[in-house]
Structure 1
Amino acid sequence: MIINVKHIFLSLTTAVLIGACTAAPVPQADGTAQAEHPRRSALVPGVVNINVSEELAEELASGSLQTKSADVNSALCRLGAVKIERVFPDAGEWEPRHREAGLHRWFRIEFDPDSVPVTKAAEDLTSIPGVVSAEPERRIRKASYFNDPRASQQWAFYNHGYTPTKYAEGCDINVQNVWDTFTAGSSEVIVAVLDEGVQLNHEDLAPVCIPAGKNGSQSFIFGRTGSNIPVGDHGTHVAGIIAAVNNNGVGISSVAGGSDGKGGVRILSLAILMDDPEDPEKTIGGYTENAFVWAADHGALIANNSWGYVYDSEEDAMRGGIDDRLADAINYFIKYAGCDVKGNQLPNSLMKGGLVTFAAGNDEYRLGWPAAFDPVVAVGALASNYQRAHYTNYGNWVDICAPGGDLKLGPGILSSIANNEYASYQGTSMACPMVSGVAALLVSYYGGPGFTVNMLKERLIRGANKDKAPADLGPRLDALGAFAYGGKAAPDAPQGLTVDVSANTATYTWNVTPDSDDVKAYGYQMLVSDKKEALTALIPGSVPQGVKAKEVEGGYKKLGETVSGQFTGLEFTKQYYAAVSAYDYLGHISAVSAVVPFVTGENNPPIIEPKTPGDYVLKAYQTPAYRFYVIDPDGHKLNVDFSDESGACSISALLPDVDVIITGVKAPAGKYKATLTATDKYGAATAYSFQYEILPNHTPVLLKAAENVVFESKSATLKLNIPDYIYDEDEEPLKFKLSSSNTNAVTVSAKDNIVTVSAAGYGQSTIDVVASDVSGTSCDLEFQVLVRDPSLPVELFPVPVKKDLNIRPKEAGKLDVSISNKAGAVVFSGSADVTPFDPLVVDLSGQASGTYFVKLKGCGLDDSYNIVKI
């Protein structure tokens, strides 16, 4: 069954009823007439499908609403029937096969949805002579969750446990060895994708998509049947998992997308559902059963179905089942795919019969349909850490599980979507094409005359892995396991063994070993002993006392290449004997190889070499790193120790590089000794000593004073290059502490060695720049900044004045001042040398309140000004 992505609504256009009957509401038990009101239902209103006898099928074949049967005419009239047609249209050359399968006896009746509930209509129709069964049209929907596109690695193909909380090593479909050893997919295999329409010209799918046309991809969507296929993200995503072109430098990889950049298995897009363009929250379904028949009649051997029925509740699903006409269509595909009209395998077909896969559904239900239909392969979903995906349906009816992603636990599944884009989705919709893709690989390799769908299904299911498979979800899809299934022969004994010795490490190298039924060995067992007879008499698979063994996987090595592995930790200067055995994926073990003698060497001490040239001399402010190259020639694990007389040193080791970091300020000036020691796990050690010198620190000094500054604009700035004013003999970058006594008038900032003074408003401020070195010694640079109004030749402040009157001229010089009251009496007379930074201050505290006249002469002034004394 399916996740609750969308509720599906379909509007069926009614036609004018031919004939004299009219539709009437169905009487209810209380005697009143009541019609079924539209609601979000799992059933399509106004549609019932019937299976009829041969005789009645002939009557209804014309599509006329008037038949020779009075019972049929009466029932159609009561329903307000507007249309009757064959569910499976005439198939031309395939019609005899369709009739043998009974497909011609299925008819779809469309009627006024307000006349009667579909369940009541189906019940009434079954009472008509000649009607074998009647069933409503159940809605379908996609079996995946949607989320925004994002980049992601395709962990489902190879999961090496990226992040332990989200990934588990080996939780994948184990397909890479299949690509390497067996096949990456053949263009002779066609997989039908019954889903949303696939973007047939997608950049990563175009070479493998069968074009839409008379005998190609088709749409079976209600009201949109034919070769014009509505494209959807979901269908394109499913197709990409199966067959996106591998090794073409574009987009993603897929399960069966070939290996030469040209493509592998082919995709037949059969659109059976789409988003409603008038309401994206709704889905429009289609003639699903016809799609299965089309797939069988047009070369498909596998039918992928990442969709399922809509149910209102789990209880509804538990009471559910598969529609009979869909069951007939699925059985038709399973029986006749790859066959001629008479049901015999076609000469050019790789398989007799077709495999149908279905997504189990995403409702967390104990049952889901049509996936629970026994002849199909029901697929549950795994998260990236072996856990059952939170959304998947489950139960003993689920045949197999595969990665479907779980965004609550980790990543989704990356694949193609419409408009040449890519996105990660989660759902049993993503797990299902994993299974279809592996099935396509099996057909590509094993297919041919006599190969049947039952053989395929047996390999697929019985070759799956029960290890770490969640309960009620079937075994885990295992591509290599499916290919290895049924193999009985052990690999040949390995050949070409050689041993290279370094101290107490022995490196074995041997040829990739053939296997008669698996092409090559899956893995190897390296063997070592100090007694030759322990290996020559060894029984395959056993490891007797006195023999050490180590497993080595064959990886992606091909026949004709070599495999290597190491034994470490052997005793030094001792005689040993080496051998190798091989095993296949099912655990069949070969005889041992020829035995090769070798002698281990002596333990060599570590090597320490300086990599930083020059003398180790630094200034107090410096923190240099001196690099040393530290290795063990025998490859043994090393422990690195360090001693230092000054306490100013630390080390950072990322072998083979060791950095000795000296922080000059942490120790007094002087010469010191340090020693670096490397010791291997067996006790062999090497020490390297060196001297370094920390030079004396010098205090920064003032070169010259900064002049006071007058700004005549509130947007004026001044930049001072501090090295012009302050000198540090050590040439170290100094740190600055800045202050402004009046930030309303002037602000100050620094970047690198440049101090910027900026006007903020009218007024005067003292700027202080304290430059400090790493030892904390400092030098002070102080100056005045005045921001004045350029329109005023002189500033008299404060006004009104209570005590001291400040007189600040624009220019420096001698200034004569005379202050008189309104009566003309002089209350102050005098002169002084003044500057903009040293104004003349006159004490008026002894004067009465009132208006005074200030006469100024000098400093560019010769004028009188009024002030108010309070």
Structure 2
Amino acid sequence: MSRPSRPRRLTAGLASAALALTAISAAGAAYAVPAASQAEPGPLMNYVVNTKASPGHVRKVEKAVEAAGGTVLVGYAQIGVVVAQSTNPDFKAAVRSGKYGREVQSVGATRTAPVSEGPATAPASKSMAADSADAPAPDPLEGQQWDLGQIKADQAHKISEGSRRVLVGINDSGVDDAHPDLAPNFDAKNSVSCIKNGVADRTVGAWRATGAHGTHVAGTVAAARNGVGIVGVAPNVRIASVKVVNSDGFIYPEYAICGFIWSAERHMDVTNHSYFIDPFEYWCKDGGDQGAVQEAVSRAVAYSTKRGVLAVAAAGNSNYDLANKTVDNGSPNDSTPVSRQINNNCLNMPTELPHVVTVASTTQAGVKSGFSNFGLNKIDVAAPGSNILSTIPNNGYASFNGTSMASPHVAGVAALMKSAHPSWGPPQLEAALRKQATDTACPTTPDARCTGTTKNNAFFGEGIADALDAVKRGW
């Protein structure tokens, strides 16, 4: 996945019986700390605290957070995760002690550097409950979009360009909703920003673009067929911006969790995730911070899937074998990276989590892009990701490279598929994406890394995504 630009590298509500979301009650709220928990203030840090998935258990853990000198940022009773903030250097121990400490299953810091956005402020909304939703001529630059031909989107458009019923969440760095190729399909009501400590901010425009990455992704999914610029894979579906990348290019766990829960509660059909969650490229299943974060994010993804959202994600740009992990040299990327030994229990999130469609990148020649991660039974499908022309802010267009560019092609194919088969949920969509993909063999010049068969191998998974099959209702 190509990373949003950063200085040093490229890259619902409290409703009847179910508490969907609770939020901080006031900016910088201070809580009395028991004498046993008091300590000299440390750096401001964010944490995930995991418990059983019920309103009662979440409320008790929120009280444990407050007793430990923390601020509750948001509580997700749907998945049993509380996101908290504290300057108590002993917060992890303190939250496990006291009256409600036994309710805590695990707790972990979400980053290794202090919180850059500062103390949490009151959110624009205290609820993630959804409101009720109310043969083509070529666009001028369509001839430069070689990628549409590789996935047969040009042929698919003669049958269907997607349904307005279908909503795709662009979980990224924000979207330029004023771009003439995106404005016709943009859904502001269902857009949000999650970059203020992972608390949903519905302020108008908070979800707008920081950098070009999210706008480029959005254009690939659903640039309108309107006689302007390019055309997206699914040019008639709606898109919403779910901003999970901050101005420094980081996607912290609380941002991603907020994005997954928001997408679920807003009844999105497909979400695209062209990122990995910082500050660890691989989050290991340990008994500390990384394990707690892996658990919290996993719950958010599982909940979103259960609510009918298909998540599609970029495989990554490290030319790394995800099926045979050995070393991680770049984590944590928000402080000082340390080379460490890893294994296959260490996951690139969200792309390696269950039921997330993992997408590798191809070139115009139909071979694996040099930067694309790979791995037998890790890659689901492949799609174009090298030299992809799409939208950028301020009415512009540019060509980018990355598995970030491959993933939205598959999100677009999934949106076409959902349009043709509205009753299908994530399991059916995921299975069909794999089965319909065009079988693609390993290179004719032997490459030992490309293990597997023509039907399923380390470079292409089950093949290159096929938009034409996706729109055939009789499939």
- Inter-CA distance 387–126: structure 2 relative to 1 (3 Å threshold): farther
Aligned to 2:209: 231
Q: Which has the higher contact order (CA 8 A, sep 6+)?
A: 2
Q: Does 1:389 align with 2:369?
A: yes
Q: Could you tell which deviates more after superposition, 381-390 or 432-441?
A: 381-390
Aligned to 1:380: 360
Aligned to 1:441: 416
Aligned to 1:267: 239
Q: Could you tell which deviates more after superposition, 198-207 or 388-397?
A: 388-397
Bigger radius of gyration among the two: 1
Which secondary structure state, in structure 1, belongs to the residue aligned with residue 155 of structure 2?
A: helix
> Which residue of the other structure, out of 168, 172, 175, is the alignment partner of 1:195?
172
Whether the 8 Å CA contact 1:306–1:429 is kept in 2: the answer is: yes
- Inter-CA distance 19–423: structure 2 relative to 1 (3 Å threshold): same
Following superposition, the deviation at residue 466 of structure 1 comes to 1.9
Aligned to 1:51: 50
Which secondary structure state, in structure 2, belongs to the residue aligned with residue 129 of structure 1?
A: helix
Whether the 8 Å CA contact 1:241–1:434 is kept in 2: the answer is: yes
In angstroms, what is the RMSD of aligned CA positions?
3.5
Q: Distance in 1 between matches of 2:429 and 2:412?
A: 12
Q: Distance in 2 between matches of 1:362 and 1:7?
A: 18
Whether the 8 Å CA contact 1:86–1:108 is kept in 2: the answer is: yes
Aligned to 2:109: 136
Following superposition, the deviation at residue 176 of structure 1 comes to 1.6
Q: Which runs of 5+ in 1 are unaligned?
A: 27-34, 39-44, 67-75, 89-98, 141-149, 159-171, 258-263, 277-281, 337-352, 406-411, 488-516, 519-870
Q: Does 1:244 align with 2:223?
A: yes
Whether the 8 Å CA contact 2:64–2:96 is kept in 1: the answer is: no
Q: Distance in 2 between matches of 1:313 and 1:374?
A: 17
- Inter-CA distance 312–441: structure 2 relative to 1 (3 Å threshold): closer
- Inter-CA distance 380–201: structure 2 relative to 1 (3 Å threshold): same
- Inter-CA distance 354–109: structure 2 relative to 1 (3 Å threshold): closer
Aligned to 2:330: none
Aligned to 2:232: 254
Following superposition, the deviation at residue 420 of structure 1 comes to 1.2
> Which residue of the other structure, out of 143, 150, 156, is the alignment partner of 1:178?
156
Aligned to 2:32: 18
Aligned to 2:194: 220
Q: Which amino acid aligns with 1:271?
A: K
Following superposition, the deviation at residue 65 of structure 1 comes to 1.9
Q: Which amino acid aligns with 1:464?
A: A
Which secondary structure state, in structure 1, belongs to the residue aligned with residue 368 of structure 2?
A: coil
Aligned to 1:106: 81
> Which residue of the other structure, out of 352, 357, 366, is the alignment partner of 2:321?
366
- Inter-CA distance 429–291: structure 2 relative to 1 (3 Å threshold): same
Q: Which deviations, in whole Å up to 9, do the C-alpha atoms of 1:811-831 show, x marking residues without a partner?
A: xxxxxxxxxxxxxxxxxxxxx
> Which residue of the other structure, out of 400, 408, 427, is the alignment partner of 2:402?
427
> Which residue of the other structure, out of 253, 258, 264, is the alignment partner of 1:296?
264
- Inter-CA distance 469–402: structure 2 relative to 1 (3 Å threshold): farther
Following superposition, the deviation at residue 64 of structure 1 comes to 7.1
Q: Distance in 1 between matches of 2:161 and 2:57?
A: 50
- Inter-CA distance 20–454: structure 2 relative to 1 (3 Å threshold): closer
Q: Which amino acid aligns with 2:164?
A: S
> Which residue of the other structure, out of 59, 72, 75, is the alignment partner of 1:84?
72
Following superposition, the deviation at residue 2 of structure 1 comes to 6.1
Following superposition, the deviation at residue 288 of structure 1 comes to 2.1
Which secondary structure state, in structure 1, belongs to the residue aligned with residue 171 of structure 2?
A: strand
Which secondary structure state, in structure 2, belongs to the residue aligned with residue 270 of structure 1?
A: strand
Question: Which structure shows the higher helix fraction?
Answer: 2
Following superposition, the deviation at residue 269 of structure 1 comes to 1.0
Q: Which deviations, in whole Å up to 9, do the C-alpha atoms of 1:777-812 show, x marking residues without a partner?
A: xxxxxxxxxxxxxxxxxxxxxxxxxxxxxxxxxxxx
Which secondary structure state, in structure 2, belongs to the residue aligned with residue 134 of structure 1?
A: strand
Following superposition, the deviation at residue 358 of structure 1 comes to 1.0
> Which residue of the other structure, out of 291, 294, 299, is the alignment partner of 1:328?
299
Following superposition, the deviation at residue 305 of structure 1 comes to 0.8
Whether the 8 Å CA contact 1:195–1:307 is kept in 2: the answer is: yes
Following superposition, the deviation at residue 454 of structure 1 comes to 2.1
- Inter-CA distance 129–20: structure 2 relative to 1 (3 Å threshold): closer
Question: Which structure shows the higher strand fraction?
Answer: 1
Which secondary structure state, in structure 1, belongs to the residue aligned with residue 306 of structure 2?
A: helix
Q: Which deviations, in whole Å up to 9, do the C-alpha atoms of 1:255-285 show, x marking residues without a partner?
A: 010xxxxxx0000111111324xxxxx5465
Q: Distance in 2 between matches of 1:133 and 1:323?
A: 11
Identity of aligned residues (%): 29
Q: Distance in 1 between matches of 2:32 and 2:96?
A: 23
Which secondary structure state, in structure 2, belongs to the residue aligned with residue 109 of structure 1?
A: strand
Q: Distance in 2 between matches of 1:299 and 1:425?
A: 30
Aligned to 1:155: 146
Aligned length: 374
> Which residue of the other structure, out of 381, 384, 387, is the alignment partner of 1:403?
384
Alignment of 1:612-761 (within 5 A): none
Q: Which runs of 5+ in 2 are unaligned?
A: 9-26, 114-140, 323-347, 444-449, 451-457
Following superposition, the deviation at residue 19 of structure 1 comes to 3.7
Q: Distance in 2 between matches of 1:298 and 1:313?
A: 28
Q: Which amino acid aligns with 1:387?
A: V
Q: Distance in 2 between matches of 1:361 and 1:123?
A: 35
Q: Which amino acid aligns with 2:163?
A: S
User: What's the TM-score, normalizing by structure 2?
Assistant: 0.69
Q: Distance in 2 between matches of 1:125 and 1:381?
A: 43
Following superposition, the deviation at residue 311 of structure 1 comes to 5.5
Aligned to 1:477: 465
> Which residue of the other structure, out of 439, 458, 469, is the alignment partner of 2:431?
458
Which secondary structure state, in structure 2, belongs to the residue aligned with residue 309 of structure 1?
A: coil
Q: Which deviations, in whole Å up to 9, do the C-alpha atoms of 1:202-232 show, x marking residues without a partner?
A: 1111110002x4xx21111116822232323
Q: Distance in 2 between matches of 1:139 and 1:243?
A: 36
Q: Distance in 1 between matches of 2:372 and 2:112?
A: 19
Whether the 8 Å CA contact 2:250–2:278 is kept in 1: the answer is: no
Which secondary structure state, in structure 2, belongs to the residue aligned with residue 379 of structure 1?
A: strand
Q: Which amino acid aligns with 2:304?
A: F
Following superposition, the deviation at residue 137 of structure 1 comes to 1.4
